[in-house]
Chains A and B, each alone.
Chain A
Amino acid sequence: MVPLSYYLVLSGILFACGVLGFLIKRNIITIFMSIELMLNGVNLSFVAFAAHWHALAGQIFVFFVMVVAAAESAVGLAIIIAVYRTRETLNVDQVNLLKL
């Protein structure tokens, strides 16, 4: 038996690591992976609350989060490829203009 609060703390730590990665990383692909880490942390708290309140809707919501993450990564990685083609760099400090 594990208290619900332990799951919430673990989910909070994962989310915090994701935010930290978003702030300190300079590679655009790693920043993108930090976003996935944040989504995973939120998923854990969804499932923990679903088990705690005996509501299966929480698990359904995890699927919608996964679908949105899949769509987001497909479009985002395509944008990264397009950015790399025009600028030949992945460093976000050098990608500060929308138009060349």
Chain B
Amino acid sequence: MSIHLIMFIAFGVVCVAGAINLLAQSHPINSALSLIAVMGALAGEFLLLGAEFVAAVQVIVYAGAIMVLFVFVIMLLNAGAEERTQGSRVAIILGVPGMILGSVLLAWVVLKHSGTQAVAVGALPGPPSTIGQLLFHQFLLPFEITSVLILIAIMGAVVLASKPEAVQKRKEH
């Protein structure tokens, strides 16, 4: 058993435990913290695959920026523990066995019918310089389009989250 496999299993256990904890917790803030744990462990998996820049961006953008936004909204809205309803009980009874069955089936098919070629540590070095060259040459148009998307998202967020009275007041002036 190589050190690579041991680290893969360690990060993978943290990932799956965090994901299950996200489902088990009833308070949103606990779910958010376990999602941050999942994202940190996933960054470790990216490092094992030799994707250093992706791992860094995963921690900065996902675990940093996006999750801080989530935690801000949870605190702003003072979200309490969720209550169980009829619909959620039906979803648990049907959903949990279905998803476990589906995951086991998928795992069996993938493990049984795929090549078992191993991925080596640092097999594909993805230094930021190479990624930047690819991003600004081959993928320049998608990159520019995402900047427009981000701009639209910012404006949409400002319009949606602004208070209705403030919009009303602006119209009167």
Contacts and interface: CB of A to CB of B under 8 A. Distances in A.
A24 interface: yes
Given A29-B73, A33-B32, A64-B146, A54 B8 contact: no
A52 B90 CA distance: 41
B131 A77 contact: no
Interface residues of B, number: 87
Contacts, number: 239
Interface in A1-52: 1-10, 12-14, 16-21, 23-27, 29-30, 32-34, 36-37, 40, 43-44, 47-48, 50-52
A62 B76 CA distance: 30
A95 interface: no
11 contacts: A26-B84, A26-B88, A29-B74, A43-B54, A48-B49, A60-B131, A64-B142, A66-B57, A68-B149, A75-B156, A90-B82
Nearest to A73: B66
A100 interface: no
A75 B138 CA distance: 29
Interface residues of A, number: 68
Contacts of A18: 19
Contacts of A25: 23, 82, 88
B124 A54 contact: yes
Interface in B77-102: 77, 79, 82-85, 87-88, 91-92, 95-96, 99, 102
A100 to B, nearest CB: 12
Interface string B124-161: 10100011001100110010001001101110111011
Given A59-B53, A69-B66, A73-B69, A37 B19 contact: yes
